[in-house]
Chain A
């Protein structure tokens, strides 16, 4: 029986070869802030260091802060792992933008359930990303603040669910659509617990090792609430080397994770409130012997 299963698997694997899956729609597991449909290979580890500096211009930017280099809006360090070729998990810790959260941890599971394939007539790749956020910051004493947790664990928790649809149109051009749903257990009176946003991204590969990325998230919300909130817009330059992936980007979002860059962005590009950010990732396998 085992033999039969083995042979059947071989044959199924053989059938897969008939239609070649589209690969490298995006070069990294992230677009700028958002996830992409790329998943780490099985048993591959990735260590990520991501950074967002302070405002380049505007009231808090300019020469006084060395165009934002003096400040760190957010820093994320994370370890991510490919469970299978189509499923990955990650655990990260952000500094947090402090409005309201600091010390924000995230745990996510990302799975690609569709892979673009011409022969099989699958037009897009699709992945689902489920993230859990938890802040372990010391609660503030101000009863009005969102960071007054009243010693309840549930108030420290938020969730996001993101569907990422990508399509590689040519060797150079890829597009992505990212409908995103965020639920925060505890928000202020003027805010909403549930938030829906639609992201859109373009990746233009100039060379094999270099690309330009544009990413925009449009929040779908009522005007009566969240009057301070703005949409996040990012432009990025991507450099790919052997085992490394470098992103240098400009974005108005201060923080990492859907919870922060979609729900908590209040900066305005037109006021100079955009910042330089970068992410470096290093892939490696842990040697077992």
Chain B
């Protein structure tokens, strides 16, 4: 059995390594092939304005460092490891780095869950990094209620948002300029391409002959492209569900609930990976949640999912809240349905 695993491991290494051919692979992406042309280049050609953090190109080496910072919070600089951005979190504790929706302009939480289930992705409280370079607005809507003026300069600026996230959201520190630059290069390297958007054949055709379009056609195409991707994710804080409205899982989908528990709750809480609250797929964890289900206590899933917790001295690993746009009330009921079943196991 071990030999079989070893052989499988070697085959995987070879296959994956063959995909990762380094610099040349990054460059290919910027070919002016209509499918692979970057969204930003298309929009600029159609007369859109450059964003405040516009980057002409990216350096694949820096992008690689950026990815390492995102996954691990630190990288090797010369002989030494750089200081971790945060002692408590890495970016991927709250953010996915890949696609989260089938349709690139979608924001619906139940379709996000469907896509996550299809692709076995974590179901996280923060927006994905996929296409973040193409967004123009960050910390939207209700985040001002939580962070106040801290996000004043971050709302329109990707680098500003990264800094706020590093310092406040991850209970860490401001990034050094090289770290910020590396992460920006990673985001630039993974900007949206025209193939990532759900475009019609007519639109694709128009992109392939973009130089030949007249001004009106360009304006129309720009408008249609602008509506085909997410410029900023909505973030509406929800109040804790009132006690009388709670169904305690009645009619909830247990399979969906299990997925949410495994991919949202246990993503951080499994054996206390990120936090002190240790959870497991065991009866006792479920019974603990059920005991508090009708309360407004932190151990009530209705409360904690909507309110989260705050960082405080001695306990900087807080739980971010799930906004209405990231988890729906029905999904909370699905989770409750699963917990009820688990408790009776």
Chain A interface (Cβ within 8 Å of chain B)?
3-4, 7-8, 11-12, 15, 23-24, 41, 43, 171-172, 205, 207-209, 242-243, 283-289
Contact = CB atoms under 8 A, between A and B. Distances in A.
B166 to A, nearest CB: 10
Interface residues of B, number: 34
A11 B288 contact: no
Interface stretch (B43-51, B108-116, B181-189, B271-279): B271-279
B20 interface: yes
B13 A7 contact: yes
A261 B315 CA distance: 34
A242 B314 contact: no
18 contacts: A4-B13, A4-B17, A8-B9, A11-B16, A12-B9, A15-B5, A23-B278, A41-B273, A172-B284, A205-B284, A208-B285, A242-B315, A284-B314, A285-B88, A287-B87, A287-B171, A288-B87, A289-B87
Contact of A24 (B17, B278, B288): B278
Contacts of B5: 15
Contacts of B12: 7, 11
B277 A242 contact: yes
A23 B9 contact: no
B314 A24 contact: no
Interface string B309-320: 000001111000
A283 to B, nearest CB: 6
Nearest to B19: A7
A43 B278 CA distance: 17
Contacts of A12: 9
B278 A8 contact: no
B83 A3 contact: no
B231 interface: no
Contacts of B171: 287
B287 interface: yes
A30 B283 CA distance: 23
A3 B276 CA distance: 33
Given A4-B17, A171-B284, A23 B271 contact: yes
B131 interface: no
B61 interface: no
A208 B288 contact: yes
Contacts of A243: 276, 314-315
A284 B173 CA distance: 18
A285 B270 CA distance: 18
A192 B87 CA distance: 48
Given A23-B270, A171-B284, A207-B284, 13 more contacts: A3-B20, A7-B13, A12-B9, A15-B5, A23-B278, A43-B87, A172-B283, A205-B284, A207-B287, A207-B288, A243-B315, A285-B317, A287-B316
B280 A23 contact: yes
Contacts of B315: 242-243, 284
Contacts of B205: none
B13 A8 contact: yes
A288 B83 contact: yes
Nearest to B291: A207
Nearest to A22: B280
A240 to B, nearest CB: 8
Contacts of A285: 87-88, 316-317
B271 A242 contact: no
Contacts of B20: 3, 7
